[in-house]
Every structure is written in C-alpha cells, then in structure tokens.
Amino acid sequence: MAERAMWVSSVTIGAPDPGVLADFYARLLGCDITATDGPPPGGSPPEIGWAQLRAPEGTPGLRTINVELERDYVPPVWPSEAGKQQIMTHLDIPVQDVDEAVARAIEAGARPADVQPREHTRVMLDPAGHPFCLYPG
C-alpha cells in the first residue's frame, strides 16, 4: 500500500477576536489552548492574533483547531442568501445527546440558529457567528 502523501492536520477559522473564539471552543470541546501569537502585525486589537486548540491525545476526529484574526471579519448568514456573506466552512460535531450538547453550547456562548433544517441535528452559531452542527453520532 502506498504511503499517504497528504492529510488534513487542522482547520483554521477566521474571527474578529481569536482569543474569545478560542476560549469558546476550548470550553465547548474540552480542548486546551496550546499556543497563541499576538498581537498581529500593526498592533491593532485584539491582543491575540492567532490561537491554537488541541484535543487531548487519543481523542477521535480532527484534533487541532486554529483561530486566526480577520481584521475585516463579516459573520456569515445562515442559511446562505445571495449577495450576503457566505459560509466558508462549518464544523460537524457528533454528540451522544443533542439536547445536552445544545445546553452545553449555549452555556459556552453559542446560540441556536433561527433555521433548523433537520429534525435530529441542531445548527448553532458560535460567538463570531460561524455555524456548527450538533448531531447524534
């Protein structure tokens, strides 16, 4: 069997305040913030220009999330609308109990999206407005 030449090591999410969003995902997912870098060039807010979260060793799924400053960040519109900021990516998060996961997400700082297209999946919006899905898994 040929060696795998490429793989995805992490996902990077743009945000107006990487420190706030990294803290949110650390609480939601039980990750550690393992690195930060800041301030970004030009010295403008926020104080953190980049942060990295890492799930504990042995955790299934993608283990690394990076959060990077986007100075001119515009939150996406969910569901997408023509002529409005589009969703570039979203996270799918399998959970044992969707209702418990929704409560945990709200406690961490998320809010439910106004539109819920599937019966057993909940679309949530993180503090920067990125959608993510909680589904039975």
Specify the pairing of strand 111-112 against strand 122-125.
antiparallel
Task: Tell me, yes or no, whether 95 and 136 share the same domain.
Answer: yes
Asked if residue 73 lies in contact with residue 14, where contact means CB atoms within 8 angstroms, the answer is: yes
pTM of full prediction above 0.85: yes
Task: Summarize pLDDT for 73-92 with one digit per residue, the tens.
Answer: 999 999 999 999 998 889 99
How many whole angstroms separate alpha carbon 97 and alpha carbon 29? 14
Give the residue, 32 or 5, on which the prediction is more confident.
32
How many structural domains is the chain composed of? 2
Task: Tell me, yes or no, whether 57 and 14 share the same domain.
Answer: yes
Asked whether residue 4 is domain-assigned, the answer is no
Domain boundary among the residues 23, 56, 71 is at 71
Asked whether residue 2 is domain-assigned, the answer is no
